[in-house]
Chain A
Amino acid sequence: MDYKIEYIDESDVLRYLGFKNFRAGVVKRGTGETETSPEVEATLKEVREMAGEILRVARPKGIYQRIPLTRRDGEFYLLDGSLHLPGKSIKHHLKESHEVILITGTLGIAVDQYLRSTQLTDMKRAVMSDSIASVAIENILDQVQEEIEQSLGDGEYLTDRFAPGYGDLPIGLNGRLAGLLDTKRQIGLTVSASGIMIPRKSVMAIIGVADRPQGKFARGCANCTMKEDCSFNKAGEICKGTN
């Protein structure tokens, strides 16, 4: 299904760019209250201009599918048991779920191509656009998830999105999940031999369906497209947007 990027969270972009002393909420959108610095202001202005280019080249798409969840001997499986979900973190995530929804979305390959050529002509633009695209794909996933929420039956509640690569859920799972969703044919998303999703600005995640409300960890590292490349994480910190 086709989507449009509706919103790019500028404070997320700044965090991805490593603005260490910048806290989400310092720039209060819409309130006119800004507590900021010249660097932040200058960068935000550039972010807005560069976001226009990402909007122009992106062809966002997303799909989702409900998949049965099976528990056997304390382990979790998709389908009738043919696809093992290893590790502790996914068990914790799905502990109250009876079914899962696989959700995936991509900005399309033109964004990869744009970022490649921009790295040659304007590295700063490339780095900033890379962060902008990482934020934009979250917006697409949010929209797909909204659709999922509207399709829920009475008494069904969703967990947050949980992506392979987070916690101890192996990133290698991406290939199998992509196969299940037929992502190549549906949205042009493939997974390389080493588990990398191509187009690069793509997200694949597992959402649990439970019969009572689930705790949110929205904005957490699990949801973050920068999790593979997070300077805060490397330094053993978390970014200030994680609360």
Chain B
Amino acid sequence: MQRNKLRLNEETATHTAILLDGAMGTMLQQAGLPLGVRPESYNLDFPEAIEGIHKSYIEAGSRIIYTNTFGANSHKLQGTGLNTKEVVESAVKIAKRAAGDMAKVALDIGPIGEMLAPNGTLSFDEAYEIFKEMLVCGEKAGADLVVFETMTDLLEVKAGILAAKENTALPVFVTMTFEKNGRTFEGTPIEAMVSVAAGMGCDAVGINCSLGPREIAPLIKRVKALTDLPVIVKANAGLPNLETGGYDLQPDTYAEESVEALLDGVAYIGGCCGTDPEFIRRLKGKIEELQPIPPSVGGGVKEHIIASSATKAVMAGGVHVTGERLNPTGKPRLQEALANESFDYILKQALEQADAGAAILDVNVGHPGIDEARVLPAVVLLLQSVCDLPLQLDTAKVNAMAAALRVYNGKAIVNSVNGKESSMAQILPLVKKYGASVIALPLDDDGIPETAEGRLQIIDKIVGRAEALGIPRRDIILDALTMTVSAQGDSALVTLKTMDLVRAKYGLLTSLGVSNISFGAPNRPALNLAFLTLALDHGLDLALINPNQLSMMEMIAGRRVLLNQDPSMKAYIRFMEVNAGQYQAAAAGGGNQSPGKGTKQAVMEGHTPEDRLSLAIRQGLKTETGLLTGEILQTMDANLVVETILIPALDRVGKDFEAGTLFLPQLIAAATSAQEAFEKIKEKLALEKKASISRGSILLATVKGDIHDIGKNIVKVVLENYGFDIIDLGRDVPVENVARKAVEKNIKLVGLSALMTTTLDSMHETIRALRESCPEAKIMVGGAVLTRNYALNTLKADYYAKDATEGVAIAKGIFGGWDQ
């Protein structure tokens, strides 16, 4: 779609800031808007009042006015008798009438008012549709641009930008609202906002609301350092004044305190809560007084954001570790987890790498039989719900890449593009559209050139194509490719020279998968470490390694100290503390870990390993449980371990819990310890390519609309440890998903949870759907608001489980078991 650039960008090339308007809500309250009445209703009921406010701002100097549509989305208007179309149309019409040719009209869009998943239950697609409706109406009614303001949720902003870009030609302004600490309520830092807004081609970006001009000034400096886009500021009239209930700045002090932002070269300035036309008039006076103000565009990007999540940004400079472990190649346990869609295992691997010091996680779900276009975006959503590291999306499937980029919250790294025509033609437009970074590989239809010069030529081609599409050079990351040194003696040298040539010519950032170098060689860690050291000397920015490998991580930590990147060794010392356990284990026995003297009191000498395992589970000793299980598995069949040790131990714990001599924390600790034992068993079975132990599959879900899933998760942990396979559909699960999955997996037992009176209806519907699609499946329900009577008689569930141990009893009854 041809973008309508208006004359906005030309205007910002002049040396003055363009005046926006001030508050609408404050003015309406002054005009007598009663509490509880939607300001948007005034567009229809009192259009002349709205027009009057617009006019007074234009008279004060505003050259862009915001329509009175902040909360005009269909979600917020629900139940008010108003609809988005009539509100937006009338609001734009009023604004245009007021503006004449004196001002541009910005379609104002505030937050939807509900939180997006994973924090809330609103989906990305729903948010997109809600924005799309406003945008299409607004453009049709004649708005000149759109401004998303007072945003705090980055994914919501992304949905809004996409909806604007895909459905209108309107220029897009984005301002988010930050607290003094430089983060939104949802924890989004300025870096993450800028990476998304600038990356996705917004026309201006900035800050509004929450703080006064003095508090916003340092945040604006930060925005300016990160982008060459025009910067917007709309501060409140100072901080809330508790005594008056208003704000603490007068128009003249407001203008005075805005000087810093003006001198920093903001392109658009206006006011938010508590401001009125007098504030705008004073700002206008101040701008005239300060002439000429330095140019606001073209200052250049001073600090570059390589990648971001909603809450974390990885900045260029120094070396960052990209965790490589979320890749099923050569990892049977991960392959099994993907095949079974038991995503918890994957999420745990992600959190482990984050703990170990990774700054970015590479995510690859490619394996025969996996539909990447479906699974990759699903895994991305799950990862982002628990882990705050930016992700590197690693897939050869273009549709999977597109789907994952769409739902990704933040600026992703695309892994990868290469010199093949098909790759460049398909991948680079995605990189541009979603504002990602991209890993560029020097290979094409003729394979990987053997010389550095040959590899440079391919990079020439990729850089040229990327820049032609408007992808900035700084977003292209070279992976010079690592070939195994045992096959080709100079392979490391070629890689390093490629890095040198490309860095000298284009200044690209670099990434490298290190471990390929040692393939087929003895003592691989030593070669890997040596190669990583060399690559760092050649300017490597992103090291794609296994962050659980201590030697590499400690070398990087040490290197940061020596290069004076870690003042007073803070990170270095923290690294040693975090990894103290590994150091002790290494000192104790060179990696051959066994539960020795250092372990806790419960695992006593003299007992048989079987007794010790049973005791370790009861005491909730996770590490010991894992180690002992490994030991016992060397001589005992896995099934037998489950049957004769694990289940009886858990049964005893369950009985004590029932009896009230043992409490919830201990029950869970025992269950999680047993989980460690099951993990060892699964690893062994996956390695031996044996079928996993399973007493049957149970489907669990927290019903649609409900996000209280901790109870369901407790049930899951406990059931898993009785050898049941749990298919966990998560929380807020649509009715049809439960029914479909139950049919697909031929499920005999479904567990549903709901914790709110308002979501019991969803439970009822889910049960009805299940009865229809798989009448033979038994249904057990649980959750705080449920009673046995209600569950069995009103909901017509088969079972009511008041807690996890009762759930186990029900499952045993249905599937039978070894211990019956």
Residues in A lying within 8 Å of B, measured CB to CB: 17-21, 39, 43, 46, 67, 78-80, 82-83, 108-110, 112-113, 115-117, 119-124, 126-128, 130, 165, 170-172, 179-180, 184-185, 187-188, 190-196, 198-200, 228-231, 233-235
Contact = CB atoms under 8 A, between A and B. Distances in A.
B672 A193 contact: no
A97 to B, nearest CB: 18
Given A79-B36, A180-B35, A124 B705 contact: no
B759 interface: yes
A127 B351 contact: no
B214 to A, nearest CB: 18
B818 interface: no
Given A120-B347, A188-B152, A194-B706, A18 B663 contact: yes
B125 interface: no
Interface in B650-669: 660, 662-666, 668-669
A184 B710 contact: no
Task: From A17, A109, A110, A172, name the one whose CB has the most chain B CB atoms within 10 angstroms.
Answer: A109
B185 A188 contact: yes
A39 B757 contact: no
Given A43-B665, A128-B665, A187 B705 contact: no
Given A110-B187, A127-B664, A127-B665, A116 B386 contact: yes
Q: Which 9 A-B pairs have the closest CB atoms?
A: A188-B185, A194-B705, A229-B784, A117-B386, A124-B668, A194-B758, A124-B669, A195-B758, A198-B115
A116 B711 contact: no
B713 A123 contact: yes
Nearest to A116: B386
Given A116-B386, A190-B120, A109 B186 contact: yes
B119 A230 contact: no
Contacts of B708: 196, 200, 228-229
A221 to B, nearest CB: 12
B471 interface: no
Interface in B773-789: 783-787
B113 A184 contact: yes
B756 A194 contact: yes
B347 to A, nearest CB: 5
B665 A46 contact: yes
Interface in B106-142: 111, 113-115, 118-122
B35 A79 contact: yes
A170 B759 CA distance: 12
Contact of A229 (B34, B121, B713, B755): B755
Contacts of B756: 165, 171, 194-196, 228
Nearest to A20: B660
Task: From B184, B663, B786, name the one whose CB has the most chain A CB atoms within 10 angstroms.
Answer: B663
Interface string B223-256: 0000000000000000000000000000000000
B707 A196 contact: yes
A39 B668 contact: no
Given A67-B35, A187-B185, A117 B705 contact: no
Contacts of A78: 36
Interface string B601-633: 000000000000000000010000000000000
Interface of B: 34-37, 111, 113-115, 118-122, 150, 152, 177, 184-187, 209, 344, 347-348, 351, 385-388, 620, 660, 662-666, 668-669, 671-672, 705-708, 710-711, 713-714, 717, 755-759, 762, 783-787, 802-803
Contacts of A184: 111, 113, 152
Contact of A200 (B386, B387, B707): B707
A123 B803 contact: no
B710 A171 contact: no
B95 to A, nearest CB: 22
Contact of A109 (B121, B150, B177, B187): B187
12 contacts: A39-B666, A80-B34, A82-B36, A120-B348, A190-B115, A191-B114, A192-B122, A192-B705, A196-B758, A198-B707, A228-B785, A229-B755
A127 B660 contact: no
A122 B672 contact: yes
A4 B730 CA distance: 33
A191 B756 CA distance: 13
A171 B665 contact: no
A83 B36 CA distance: 9
Given A17-B664, A191-B114, A235 B713 contact: no
B664 A196 contact: no
Given A17-B665, A194-B756, A234 B706 contact: no
B186 A185 contact: no
Given A18-B664, A190-B113, A228-B708, A198 B757 contact: no
Contacts of A180: 35-36
B118 A185 contact: no
A120 B387 CA distance: 11
B319 to A, nearest CB: 26
Contacts of A179: 36, 113
B351 A234 contact: no
Contacts of A191: 114
A122 B668 CA distance: 9
Contacts of B711: 229
Nearest to A57: B187
A109 B116 CA distance: 12
B35 A193 contact: no
Contacts of A185: 150, 177, 209
Nearest to B343: A120
Contacts of A46: 665
Nearest to B38: A179
Contacts of B671: 123
Given A18-B664, A117-B386, A194 B121 contact: yes
B114 A117 contact: no
